[in-house]
Amino acid sequence: MTSRSLKAKAAVVDTGVLLEYLTLDKTKKDSRKYFNYLNSELFQNHNYKQIFISFLTKTELLYISCRIKGWRKAKEYVSSLVNSFIIVSNDEIDELAALIKCKIPIALPDCFNLAIAKIYKIPAYFLEEKELSSQTQRKIITELNIDLHIIQKRV
């Protein structure tokens, strides 16, 4: 397995984080605070010059946006959004994602993002969810040696 260390120059971001960020109502005070938090933590953090996503993250963004905006608008919206991201897909990631799925009971798109984090040695950002229990998080951190960041859902 080839390892490409990007250190803190990049991060991989899960669909949940992106959807949470994109659906914020910035006219509300609490939403603005959350938006500013995500911006400072991820999107305008000078440590992260690149944001990586898997091809499945793009697919999830498309189908979820399609349900809200319709297909044509979703395609335009997601294309402009992911234009600044690096979409990763290769055999090495496919195989590692399958191995992760074999060992850890989480959604397949999550496995792809973890595989990207592992191979590129970059932090992985996920939204807090039941599937990522503290036990599962520990397993990801210790067994996979991934710098895992869980972002709490807005309240």
For the entire predicted model, the pTM comes to 0.87
What fold, for 7-151?
Rossmann fold (3.40.50)
Q: What pLDDT, in 10s, does the model give residues 103-134?
A: 999 999 999 999 999 999 999 999 998 889 99
d(CA 62, CA 119): 25
Write the DSSP symbol of residue 22: H
Q: What pLDDT, in 10s, does the model give residues 5-63?
A: 555 589 999 999 988 887 777 778 777 888 888 888 787 777 788 999 999 999 999 99
Band of residue 4 on the pLDDT scale cut at 50, 70, 90: low
Instruction: Please state the domain extents for the chain.
Output: 7-151
Within 10 angstroms of residue 4's Cβ, the number of other Cβ atoms is: 9
Q: Which residues pair with 52 in a beta bridge?
A: 12, 86
